A and B are shown apart, each in its own frame.
Chain A
Amino acid sequence: MTSTQWPVYQVFERPAPGRPMRAGGSVHAVDAETALQNAWAVYGRRPTAVCLWVVPRRLVLMKTREELGGLSPDLGTRAESDQTFCVFRRSGSKLVYDEGPQVVAPSAEQAMVRAFNDVEDCFACWVFPSTAVTSSESQTAECAFAPQPYKWFRDHKSFPIVALLREIRADAAESNHA
């Protein structure tokens, strides 16, 4: 029996055109291409996601304020040259990790500290190199599923319960009257 414990890919979604990305959840997949397909099957069906990213979890640095302790900007200098990092933060009373401005830093740890320092009420933060993203909008990523912004089965108008109940109550009132 083959192992099913494939690598985990974090899934990020754009809920509507022009809106920032936000964290959705995760999928397991052998590679980024199948991760993107799995992500469409799960995260792009009912919700109206218009774009999805998948990022290998091993490349995502995840820290909470508690884990980071006192925020010290001095984490030592790293040998790597500067890279661009994507930042997702849970701040204020919000429950979801929202995309913040990208940070250019020599390491993920330093990007993390900067991302925390940028906003006052940040509880938890994820950072990863922008090169780690496989996007459904990429020209090279193969994706078997196109975004489906309209789904009739998620249109409340398809299930007019309130109107139906009103009709039934009116009928009942009429027959009582008669």
Chain B
Amino acid sequence: MDQLAKLAAFEARIARGETIEPGDWMPDEYRRQLLRMMSQHAHSEIVGMLPEGAWITRAPSLKRKLVLLAKVQDEAGHGQYLYDAAESLGATREELIDALHTGRAKYANVFNYPTRSWADVGIIGWLVDFAAILNQSMLAKCSYGPYARAMLRICSEETFHKKQGQEIVITLARGTSEQRAMAQDGLDRWWWPTLMQFGYPDSESPHTATLKRWGIKTKTNDELREIFIKEIVPELRLLGLEPPDPELRFDEATGSWRHGPIDFDELKRVVNGNGPCNKERLAARIKAHEEGAWVREALVAYNAKRELSGVH
């Protein structure tokens, strides 16, 4: 079969709703786009442990500390699921981690902002994880089996993160005036980065049409962003919290939400390594990797010794 016939057969499979597995024929561009998305997604989970991890030692109660510990550990697991999916297309773990540590790999913009107060932990869990759920529940139906399976596992855990975050914000919103101010301040700082998390507007997303045709994405960045605003704004307002956007309003005529301009130059700066915490985040990852080297070396040495002595 020539390439065109293979492509036609592949696209027919996608159109029938079949799921592609690693051994199946796929266009190079399908492989390349998936590898790009899965590796960025995996790195985002791993770097995403850092902003919230900073609050583990300062969580206000033992229960909240346990929940936060479990959440941060979940993110590590999500990274593991996604590296596994990326490896199914031939990437090696070392290449992936090396790309992150040398600054070649990209990851989600939101994790490059500082977590200044406990309210940030609630706002991230509620807003950032909800934004992630919208994207991930779409990807759980994507045409590539390993990615879809990773997403299914992740979505069920993220649902908890959203609830846990929302519960923190509800508690603050019903608390003292200082606590309410803390929640509003968190919202003020995280609102725009969360909207940016959905990516560039459709008019500047050259891959979207191809990704949709190949069943990788079923919704565009702008469509997901709209769903997010529609769901979250009424829930925030119910708590007396207001997103920092004077132009935000529901347009009765079109039945959709209007919002002020999103600073996509900021998104570009942050994704390309120049956000408030990019250097700190990468330094923390590299430090953890280097300081864990002795554990990896000890395991290898122990295993080699056992193989030599034939104990197995």
| Interface residues, chain A, with chain B CB atoms under 8 Å away | 1-5, 8, 24-28, 30-31, 34, 41-43, 45-47, 62-64, 66-67, 90, 93, 95-96, 123-124, 151, 153-154, 156, 159, 161, 164-165, 168-169, 172
Q: B18 touching A123 by the CB < 8 A rule? A: yes
B23, B67, B77, B153: the one within 8 Å of A62 (CB): B23
Given contact pairs A2-B296, A3-B94, A165-B238, A64 touches B24 in the complex (Cβ within 8 A): yes
Tell me the minimal C-beta distance from B130 to chain A in angstroms.
Answer: 12
Within 8 A of A (CB), among B126-160: 145, 148-150, 152-153, 156-157, 160
A8, A45, A96, A169: the one within 8 Å of B73 (CB): A45
Does B19 reach chain A (CB closer than 8 Å)?
yes
The secondary-structure label for the interface of chain A is mixed
Give A155 to B24 CA distance when docked, in angstroms: 39
A-B residue pairs in contact (CB < 8 Å), sample of 16? A1-B293, A8-B87, A26-B87, A30-B299, A31-B312, A62-B23, A66-B24, A67-B23, A90-B145, A95-B149, A156-B163, A159-B166, A161-B163, A161-B170, A165-B238, A168-B238
Q: A25 touching B81 by the CB < 8 A rule? A: yes
Give A137 to B209 CA distance when docked, in angstroms: 48
Q: Which 4 A-B pairs have the closest CB atoms?
A: A159-B163, A30-B303, A67-B23, A64-B23
Given contact pairs A46-B157, A164-B170, A165-B238, A124 touches B163 in the complex (Cβ within 8 A): no
Which residue of chain A has its CB nearest to the CB of B95? A5
Residues of chain A within 8 A (CB-CB) of B93 are: 4-5, 28
Does B239 reach chain A (CB closer than 8 Å)?
yes
B19, B22, B153, B312: the one within 8 Å of A123 (CB): B19
Tell me the minimal C-beta distance from B78 to chain A in angstroms.
Answer: 9
Does B250 reach chain A (CB closer than 8 Å)?
no
Q: A168 touching B84 by the CB < 8 A rule? A: no
Residues of chain B within 8 A (CB-CB) of A159 are: 160, 163-164, 166-167
Which residue of chain A has its CB nearest to the CB of B304? A30
Give A164 to B94 CA distance when docked, in angstroms: 46
Tell me the minimal C-beta distance from A121 to chain B in angstroms.
Answer: 11
Tell me the minimal C-beta distance from A113 to chain B in angstroms.
Answer: 15
Residues of chain B within 8 A (CB-CB) of A151 are: 70
Q: A153 touching B77 by the CB < 8 A rule? A: no
Tell me the minimal C-beta distance from B205 to chain A in angstroms.
Answer: 27
Give A41 to B81 CA distance when docked, in angstroms: 12
Residues of chain B within 8 A (CB-CB) of A8 are: 87
The secondary-structure label for the interface of chain B is helix
Given contact pairs A25-B150, A123-B19, A164-B170, A2 touches B297 in the complex (Cβ within 8 A): yes
Give A124 to B148 CA distance when docked, in angstroms: 15
Residues of chain B within 8 A (CB-CB) of A34 are: 299
Within 8 A of A (CB), among B267-283: none
Give A67 to B22 CA distance when docked, in angstroms: 10
Within 8 A of A (CB), among B231-269: 235, 238-239
Q: B300 touching A30 by the CB < 8 A rule? A: yes
Which residue of chain A has its CB nearest to the CB of B171? A164
Which residue of chain A has its CB nearest to the CB of B77? A42
Which residue of chain B has its CB nearest to the CB of A47? B153
Which residue of chain A has its CB nearest to the CB of B67? A153
Q: A161 touching B166 by the CB < 8 A rule? A: yes
A27, A93, A124, A153: the one within 8 Å of B160 (CB): A153
Tell me the minimal C-beta distance from A104 to chain B in angstroms.
Answer: 25
Residues of chain B within 8 A (CB-CB) of A124 are: 21, 23, 145
Q: B80 touching A27 by the CB < 8 A rule? A: yes
Q: A123 touching B148 by the CB < 8 A rule? A: no
Does B116 reach chain A (CB closer than 8 Å)?
no
Give A46 to B73 CA distance when docked, in angstroms: 10
Does B7 reach chain A (CB closer than 8 Å)?
no
Give A52 to B248 CA distance when docked, in angstroms: 49
Q: A168 touching B300 by the CB < 8 A rule? A: no
Known contacts A2-B300, A25-B81, A156-B163; 16 additional CB pairs below 8 A are A1-B293, A4-B97, A5-B94, A25-B153, A26-B84, A26-B87, A42-B80, A46-B77, A46-B156, A46-B160, A90-B21, A96-B152, A123-B21, A124-B21, A161-B167, A165-B170
Q: A95 touching B145 by the CB < 8 A rule? A: yes
Q: A46 touching B167 by the CB < 8 A rule? A: no
Q: Which of B156, B296, B302 has the most CB of A within 10 A?
A: B296
Q: B148 touching A63 by the CB < 8 A rule? A: no
